[in-house]
Amino acid sequence: MTASLVLRDATPDDAGLIAGFVRDLADYEKLLHEAVATEADFADAIARGHIASLIAELDGVPVGFALWFHTFSTFLGKRGLYLEDLYVQPAHRGHGIGKAIFRDLARRAQEAGCVRMEWSVLDWNAPSIAFYRSIGAKPMDEWTVQRLDVAEIAKLAQQEA
**Cβ–Cβ < 8 Å for 125, 98:** no
Inter-residue contact 51 to 70 (CB < 8 Å):
no
The residue from 28, 82, 87, 132 that is catalytic is: 132
Cα 152 from chain centre: 24
Q: Is 70 helix (H, G, I), strand (E, B) or coil?
A: strand
Cβ count within 10 A of residue 87? 24
Q: Are 43 and 12 in contact (CB under 8 A)?
A: yes
Active site annotation includes 132: yes
Catalytic residues: 132
